């Protein structure tokens, strides 16, 4: 199971790396792959943070300073960049991805896409629960 999660992580990088990547440099594609993985991790982190607030009855999550949030985003990006690009795990997996069996490629692509969709659905459900629990009325309009 842990091996499959690792492959999903590396597939997320690969899909971000290859997304309209023919005209981009490999350095730019690496950045896109890392950003793709970091965004999914950020969504999961925010969701977990909101559920911790709901369980503890605090509003800590939305009281965090913007610079703290930016630093956490940067730390996520740097940590993923180190593992995927600097250490070469993501680059090596991306280069060998085309040589995998087609069934495994499809399974990994579908699994990675499903992970993203589930993370997004759980995020939106959590936002709704967070608003209901703390009686936050969203402002309509722009």
Taking only the tens place, the pLDDT of each residue in 73-124 is 999 999 999 999 999 999 999 999 999 999 999 999 999 999 999 999 999 9
Question: Does the pLDDT value for residue 14 go beyond 80?
Answer: yes
pLDDT band at residue 142 using 50, 70 and 90 as cut-offs? very low
Report if residue 140 sits inside a domain: no
Q: Note the pLDDT tens digit of each residue in 29-79.
A: 899 999 999 999 999 999 999 999 889 888 877 778 889 889 999 999 999
- For all residues of the chain together, what is the average pLDDT? 88
Are 93 and 8 in contact by the 8 Å Cβ rule? The answer is no
pTM above 0.75, yes or no: yes
Which pLDDT value is given to residue 104?
94
What are the backbone angles phi and psi of residue 65, rounded to the nearest 5°? -65, 150
Report if residue 98 sits inside a domain: yes
Q: Which domain holds residue 120?
A: 2-133
Question: Does the pLDDT value for residue 140 go beyond 60?
Answer: no
Indicate the burial class of 44 (C-beta count within 10 angstroms; 0-12, 13-18, 19 or more): middle
Which pLDDT value is given to residue 57?
85
Report if residue 75 sits inside a domain: yes
Report if residue 111 sits inside a domain: yes
In whole angstroms, give the CA distance from residue 84 to residue 80: 6
Q: How many domains does the chain have?
A: 1
Report if residue 64 sits inside a domain: yes
Report if residue 82 sits inside a domain: yes
Report if residue 141 sits inside a domain: no
Report if residue 29 sits inside a domain: yes
């Amino acid at each position: 199971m842990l091996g499959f999660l690792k492959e999903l992580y590396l597939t997320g990088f690969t899909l971000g790396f290859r997304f309209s990547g023919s005209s981009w440099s490999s350095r730019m594609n690496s950045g896109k792959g890392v950003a793709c993985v970091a965004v999914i991790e950020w969504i999961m982190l925010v969701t977990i943070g909101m559920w911790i607030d709901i369980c503890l009855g605090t509003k800590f999550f939305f009281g965090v300073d913007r610079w703290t949030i930016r630093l956490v985003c940067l730390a996520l990006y740097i940590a993923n960049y180190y593992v995927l690009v600097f250490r070469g795990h993501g680059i090596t997996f991306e280069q060998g991805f085309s040589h995998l069996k087609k069934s495994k490629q499809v399974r990994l692509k579908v699994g990675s896409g499903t992970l993203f969709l589930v993370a997004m659905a759980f995020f939106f459900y959590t936002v709704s629960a967070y608003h209901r629990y703390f009686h936050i009325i969203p402002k309509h309009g722009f």
